């Protein structure tokens, strides 16, 4: 079994990615809002002119852009290849900048999932 962990750079592509994973045969996905250090550093929230204790109005004006981190557990390497291909069909070549980060992690044991043959 394998875990696929994918940090989607462009949250506007989220629905397309989820639909492509579904079409590839993924039966369940956990989705977390996330952000990275670089995005935090580039965000205007950490401005030099921001007061030490900002007002509620200042905080509400701040628009935070979040990534989406998706993870799923799948049974075979063939399924890994399908999910990677499905992901790249939406975001493009994952080796290019601003597409996302996808990791495949082999799992020694998994508890809490029904075993299904795919």
pLDDT score of 53: 56
Q: Name the residue with higher pLDDT: 1 or 116.
A: 1
Percent of the chain with pLDDT over 90: 57
Rg (CA), the chain: 18
Edge-first strand order for the sheet with 100-106 is 30-34, 67-74, 2-8, 100-106
**How would residue 59 be classed by pLDDT, with cut points 50, 70 and 90?**
very low
Judge contact between 99 and 6, C-beta under 8 A: no
- Compute the mean pLDDT over every residue in the chain, rounded to the nearest whole number: 82
Confidence of residue 67 (pLDDT cuts 50, 70, 90): confident
Confidence (pLDDT) at 90: 96
The rounded Cα 106 to chain-centroid distance in angstroms is: 18
Question: Is residue 96 within 8 Å of residue 37, measured between CB atoms?
Answer: no
With a cut of 90, say whether residue 74 has pLDDT above it.
yes
SS3 label, residue 74: strand
- 62 Cβ contact list (under 8 Å, min separation 6): 43, 44, 45
Confidence label for 35 from pLDDT (cuts 50, 70 and 90) = confident
Q: CATH for 2-106?
A: 3.30.70.120
Find the length of the chain: 118
Mean pLDDT to the nearest integer, 96-116: 88
Domain ranges of the chain: 2-106
Q: Nearest CA to 6 among 78, 91, 76? A: 91
């Amino acid at each position: 079994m394998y875990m696929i962990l994918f940090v989607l750079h462009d949250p506007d592509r989220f629905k397309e990615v989820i639909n492509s994973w579904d079409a590839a045969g993924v039966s369940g996905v956990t989705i977390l809002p996330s952000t990275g250090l670089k995005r935090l550093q580039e965000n205007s929230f950490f401005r030099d002119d921001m007061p030490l204790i900002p007002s509620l109005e200042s905080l509400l004006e701040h628009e935070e852009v979040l990534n989406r981190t998706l993870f799923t557990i799948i049974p075979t390497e063939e399924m890994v290849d399908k999910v990677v291909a499905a992901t790249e069909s939406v975001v493009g070549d994952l080796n290019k900048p601003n597409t996302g980060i996808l990791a495949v992690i082999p799992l020694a044991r998994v508890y809490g999932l029904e075993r299904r043959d795919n």
